[in-house]
Amino acid sequence: MFNGLRRRTRDLPGNPDLRIIGARRSGKTTFMAALAYWPNAKPDSPIESVNPFDDDTARLIAMAQDILENGLPFAGNYPVEDLSQLPLYTLLIEIKPAFSLGGNLRFQVSCREYPGELIEDLRNRSTASRGLSNYLDDCADGSGLLLLIDGTAKEDRKYAQAFDRLKTELNIRLTGQGKNLSSYRIAVVFSKTEQGTVWIHRYDIKKFISLKFPQTQNTIQKWRKEWGCSVNYFFCSAFGMKGNPPQPNVRIEERDREGTRSVIDRPQYWRPFGLVAPIYWLHTGKDDQRLRKMED
């Protein structure tokens, strides 16, 4: 009887439709590709499987194999007037139970990432592209928001300004639709955690934010207070670590104020971490600490 209980999988209701916003080179497409591909998972990983649910996501996995595994970077998305041209990636994720007698949890989630130019448009009202309003309208139709920030970037003020404008624009649209602002969830995710300047803070994300992104932190705190909504912070790495003691599994191609541009170093040891944690939290509101685990 117990074996049967362990094998039973429970489907979580709903299909979250998430939006991912981040600056150029923050790693949005690489985040989604690594999540969809989910390579070299350990047998004891709490994540049972990540599978594509549609053709766009299957193509993303193929790109991860053809481009990332060959040590090449993704080109990224470019601004478009018609948002139907942007892919909506849908995944089926299955998570193992926290206790041995429980059953697996399975849920479906859709994610759309916006071009990094959106951050600049949000900051610069006078030079904003004509398509900004279309992006904001689409963003308001999503069920949750993932803000992806390159953890090595030195652009705190830029992010703070963009997110403050984003808060105002979404407020207008969501209240106009009669939506409850307090039920909204915002995941702030710091990418490239494998880099030394971020890695040293991996056990204290609050301290990291206070030191590296104080203005952004203040903006997000005001957002949470004004809306009464839920906010959570996460670390992640699309490429992960290698060796023992662990070292970044990347080759640096460029480093400047905007952050770090890198490609995978040893594809055979490619093991991302922290990618599922914010997605699961945005869907359920539950912070599963197992999903935050990093390579030590």
Question: Percent of the chain scored above 90 by pLDDT?
Answer: 78
Q: pLDDT digits over 68-121, tens only?
A: 888 888 777 778 878 888 899 999 999 999 887 689 999 999 999 999 999 999
Q: What residues contact 201, with CB distance under 8 A and at least 6 apart? A: 207, 208, 211
Model pLDDT, residue 95: 97
Contact indicator for 89, 57 with CB cutoff of 8 Å: yes
- Please give the sequence-ordered ranges of beta strands (E in DSSP) within the chain, or none if there are none: 9-11, 17-22, 47-52, 89-95, 104-113, 144-150, 185-191, 230-235, 241-242, 247-248, 250-256, 259-264
- Coil/strand/helix, residue 279: helix
Q: How far apart are CA 249 and CA 221, in angstroms?
A: 33
Q: How far apart are CA 150 and CA 242, in angstroms?
A: 20
DSSP string of 28-66, one letter each residue: HHHHHHHHHH-TT--TT-SEEEEEE-SHHHHHHHHHHHH
Q: What are the structural domain ranges in the chain?
A: 2-292
Q: How confident is the model at residue 127 (pLDDT cuts 50, 70, 90)?
A: low
Q: pLDDT digits over 186-221, tens only?
A: 999 999 999 999 999 999 999 999 999 999 999 999
Residues in the chain: 296
